[in-house]
Amino acid sequence: MTFRPSRLSDLAALYRSPTTEPTLRLEYVYGYNSKGAGNNLFYLSATDQIVYPAASLCVLLSANRNTQSFLGGGEVHTAKGHMGELSAVALSPSRDLIATGENAELPAICLWKLQGTEPLLTIDVTGDSKGTKLMAFSQDSGLLAAIDLNTEATVRLYEVKSGLELLVASGTPGNIQALAWSPSTGDLWTAGQGHFSIWSNKNAAKYQKETKSGLETVTVLGFRLDGTAVVGGNEGKIMHLAANTEMIASYPLHPASVAITALFVSNEGVLVGAANSKVTILDANFQQLRLIDTPGVPFSLDQSASGILCGTRDGAIVEFGRNGRMVLMDVHSVGEVSALAYDKVQTNCVLSSGGDNKLKCWNIQQKRCMVTGLMEMGQKTVQTRALDVSIKGHVAIGYDDGHFTVRTNSFQLNNIVAVGKGHSSAITTLKYSPDGLVLALGTEAGLVTLHSARLNYPILWELKGHKGRITALDWSKEGSCLRSQDLFLAEKVWKVESGEVVPREKEQDWGTENRLRAAGSEFGPSVGAKSPTADMFIQGGLNGLLEVYNSQSAPLAFKAHSSLIRSAVWSPDGQTLLTAGGQDLSLLQWKLT
């Protein structure tokens, strides 16, 4: 039986402690978890910072400076926070206390103060919970409500000061999609599909649930300070409800086929996001002031003196402020981020491919997405695990159905210059020769092929002999030999001119080293990459760990990703490392220190 650690303390026992040797520091996260439910994107109090989840971290982003700090993660011996993917974030009414919940086998809820990097409190979630879906602070920040990801949609109440669990109860019937605390009565409202309940603590007795009927499916829920509620559902309208849930008024904003997807309520007005990628701004009397187009379906909304903050299902964070519309984050949003490649011409740029059919070019100095292209033109769903850029700027992409395409360069990602076909299994890795004249492909079936990087990329050689998936390809510095490695760590060296195997005793000066140090398994490792300038080799490990090897026999390990690292690339100067976390849909930028 394979040992799979479930706590950060368990992971620390597997790795050595840091020394004075060079190490890594997390500098920036290109990510935003838009897969959850309810608001998870907030302005913080009296700062230009916003807070949101990405991978296993809670990110604090300065919108003005485009710099980040993080709650959670780090070197495993000192790391705090979560093991799994952050699935919920809540902010206290005073905007100085953050709660984070995760999707994990043994989930925890962490409470954070902004001035610290360690949780004030870590609460182990009990029972059969697989994580937290929604959270909300009471008006005085004394209580925290949480909804489980399990089939029962379990409702939990915690005392914030002590972490004491005050209530564990089934949230059924129906799937809970929204929750909020009444500022007038102190009751907790939960709502969703066929479900609307009020949880009351009468006379210091246990919290009791009163289920209401006659209301439609509720997707969003919020309170005004007068104790009245605003709710929205699947029929394009919002409703103003009294404290006893009786209807005060109904306001149709969109056609009945358009669901309400996001809500922010204040005494000054209401922001309403809808599935037609629009945000409606209403005043305190529910009169429409403005309609904003958003780059995707709004998922999370917040407002401050800085402007309106919107997170979308497509992985974008956008601020609508005094200076107009500003995109703060624009990331992959579906499937996995499975491949990375450094641009050898535009040396500050890195390319990524995702399950959302998108190619993205990132500037790692400016820390933003420069260009977005499509892996396949149209709506076809495609998957890719292989990506590289030649010294001439060509961008090659290998797909799971065995074909590959080549694009003009990183800034013309939709301009296809060649399409290669004929492989019967997925392309798992590819790499251009140092002079950019030959493209090597490795496949799931263990076949290596060489293609001329001219015109339609005709095939030069088929290199057979591996018995498993090709995991890495390395070119010799002068480009005359190719080294390949498979899943079982078997290696072969090929002479490019003839396609023959080179005897092992012939040493080569290799331009890169992307081979694995240990065999792959269910949990990892996943990818390996050697720094071009330092005695440092990195590899993806179990639970999303980044393992760092140098002259010591045992590796260091860093926690930030929440799933298996699928790809990693070093900058030419060896000072910056980019890692892609697969299913956590995040790219992490590390600095050598």
Final residue of a structural domain among 463, 479, 511: 511
Q: Is residue 582 part of a domain?
A: no
Clarify whether residues 185 and 159 are in a common domain. Answer: no
Is the predicted pLDDT of residue 1 greater than 90, yes or no? Answer: no
d(CA 483, CA 56): 35
pLDDT at 174: 67
Q: How many domains does the chain have?
A: 3
Q: In this structure, what DSSP letter does residue 232 have?
A: E
Domain that holds residue 156: 32-172
Clarify whether residues 393 and 457 are in a common domain. Answer: yes
The overall average pLDDT reported for the chain is 90
3-state secondary structure 337-392: EEEEEECCCCCCEEEEEECCCEEEEEECCCCEEEEEEECCCCCCCCCEEEEEECCC
Clarify whether residues 312 and 192 are in a common domain. Answer: yes
Per residue in 57-102, pLDDT tens?
A: 999 999 889 999 999 999 999 998 999 999 999 999 999 899 999 9
Q: Is residue 495 part of a domain?
A: yes
Clarify whether residues 136 and 254 are in a common domain. Answer: no
Quote the pTM value. 0.93
d(CA 337, CA 55): 12
pLDDT at 502: 87
Per residue in 207-251, pLDDT tens?
A: 888 888 766 789 999 999 999 999 999 999 999 999 988 999 999
Clarify whether residues 264 and 407 are in a common domain. Answer: no
DSSP states of 151-186 as a string? TT--EEEEETTT--EEEEE---SS-EEEEEE-TTT-
Clarify whether residues 180 and 299 are in a common domain. Answer: yes
Residue 528 dihedral angles phi and psi, to the nearest 5°: -135, 150
Final residue of a structural domain among 511, 544, 566: 511
Clarify whether residues 229 and 310 are in a common domain. Answer: yes
Is the predicted pLDDT of residue 527 greater than 90, yes or no? Answer: no
Is the predicted pLDDT of residue 115 greater than 80, yes or no? Answer: no
Per residue in 137-187, pLDDT tens?
A: 999 999 999 999 888 889 999 999 999 999 999 887 668 999 999 999 999
CATH classification at residue 326 = 2.130.10.10
Q: Is residue 588 part of a domain?
A: no
